Amino acid sequence: MEDKNKRKSIIYLIIGIVTLIALIAGATYAYFQAQTGNNAVANLNTTTGTTDNLTFSTEGEIEINASADNFGENMGAQVSQASAIATLIPNNTNNQAKEKYNVYLVINENPFEYTNGEENPELVLTVTKDGGEYTKVQDLTIKNNITINTKEGEDLTSETIKGYDITTKRGLIKIAEGEDIIADNKTETDKWEISIILKNLETNQQLNTGKVFNGKIIIQKEEIPTKILDVCKSGDNIADCLIKLHDESEYGITKLVYHNEQEDYKGETNYTEEAGDLSYRYSGSSAEVNNYICFGGDCSNDPTNPNYSNLYRIIGVFPTTATKDSLNKEYQLKIIKADYATAEELGGEGIGAYYGPYGSESTYKGNSTYLGKVTRYYWNREQNNSGDNTNDWSKSNLNTENLNKYFLDEYLKPKDDGKWYNMIEEHSWITAGVNWTKIKMQNAKTIYLNEIVNLDVGTALTSAVPEVTARVGLMYISDYMYGASQEHWSKAGNNNGINDYSESKSNNWIYMGLGEWLITRQVESPNRALTVHVYGLVSDGYVYEDNPNYNVTIRPIVYLKPDVKIFAGSGTSNDPYIISE
């Protein structure tokens, strides 16, 4: 009898343990998210009797293609639609479930512009929730009486709608944040319909023909991070934090492209045109790329403030030369002065390659007050009429005297006991040069390979040093080309203004409107005074060549050491990143 009671006790104990495990398992909630095709997000959930079940899905693809076949006179508007659905199922023991979620439109590509004044929208966003108009989209103002022409057979019909003007909008649009969904003892579904409409006006819209709009709808519980301090804390490594922001956010928000030559990622396009150097580079228009950083002391975005000279921009995050092919990569920032250099920074009359102040220029994109301080320099100044204006960068007095002597020793080193000077890493700049035929009609990827990877010293100037180790340099051609939004990467560096980089000016954050020297030399011309040409002019937006004894503007570029830390800032011009060692 005693043995029988013991057996019963053991059985009861086992039942109790199993019941306890079941209760613990029932209190858990597994939440998974999987990417699917057509910009859709499917959320898979495992639920139990004590857990509410919230799932999301999207349907449709957001894309507008304004081709000659569908965009012209007597043609109706184009409409692209997608839907986002949130479904909440209450658990078996609670009659009411309540959750919050977020709905976003991320615009990855939008080269459209106004052709008939800003008061007449050409790209319109409309939103409905459960069939009713939704007019609470953040950061956008609802417009009434927008006329849309629709083609039905051979006839055009008109209707008037409410909507949001997104003609030139890029990046993140917060459709709804912290939206409540409440399920009372039954399944509750919220359905959002998002439409993008390209209006066909009765005026000339030729400027928008051939352009493509691309975006996607995201619906999820989590908020999308938009700033570096959303994913990191003050004192963390800034290079690592920018990579983390890229990985956890969206391309349309960060404008950082990971150049790994892999298939599209989070809205990145033209992956076959990427450099393949595992860098993260900023790409897009100046207004949408938030990559400003303070370097050299306090900074200001007011061109009349002396601290404006300390405002730089981040070209990208690059693996260090020693570790770029290893699994444990170390990354560093490559930065460029936000505006053109002045004599105060690089040295004035009688110093190195100094020429003189710039003067005035209608194409300059900065402040006219500051333009009076902008200084022109030779790529390499002819010395005593000796014909020594070679395009060998190692012999350039712009390199040796203005950039890597005056700028470092006279301007930067005295600041904060050398704090900023000590942040700069010595770098091996590729200076072998490129044959003009390998630049003029080539796209960004081909130019990068010819300029940086497949070094081509050429038959002329074979004595030129192919790599120069220094702290300060200038832009590569490929730096400039990859600064443009991705739709331009397949265009030629120079094709006399036809389908080339002159078309990228409004969508390239690096472009500032003046002629500007690049570091890459031209290898075809002989080493003679006043006849050697150097890549460097970006005055029309495309790559050009000129004599090193000519004079244009420059912007110093430096690589920062890998251990630089972020302390504050969001990367905008009025809230730049604040860094320290």
Q: What is the pLDDT of residues 290-330, one digit of tens each?
A: 999 999 999 999 999 999 999 999 999 999 976 666 666 79
Beta strands in 90-209 (DSSP E): 96-109, 123-129, 132-133, 142-152, 155-165, 171-184, 188-198
Query: How many other C-beta atoms lie within 10 A of the C-beta of residue 14?
Result: 10
Would the pLDDT of 18 be above 80? no
pLDDT of residue 14: 45
Tell me how far apart the alpha carbons of residues 336 and 556 are, in angstroms, rounded to a whole number: 6
Q: What is the pLDDT of residue 281?
A: 97
In tens, the pLDDT along 203-242 reads 888 889 988 999 999 999 999 999 999 999 999 999 999 9
pLDDT at 566 (0 to 100): 97
User: Residue 33: pLDDT above 60?
Assistant: no
Distance CA 69, CA 62 (A): 19
Share of residues in the chain with pLDDT > 70 (%): 84
**Mean pLDDT across 109-119:** 87
Q: Model's pTM, two decimal places? A: 0.85
| pLDDT exceeds cutoff 70 at 121 | yes
In this structure, the dihedral spanned by the alpha carbons of residues 104, 105, 109 and 113, taken in order and rounded to 10 degrees, is: -130
Could you give the residue ranges of the DSSP H alpha helices within 275-374? 343-346, 368-371
pLDDT above 80 for 264: no
Q: Where are the beta strands (DSSP E) in 185-310?
A: 188-198, 212-220, 256-258, 280-282, 292-294
Residue 377: alpha-carbon gap to chain centroid: 30
**Model pLDDT, residue 388:** 57
CA angle (578, 580, 581) in 5-degree steps: 160
Among the listed residues 388, 391, 405, the one whose alpha carbon sits nearest the alpha carbon of residue 470: 405
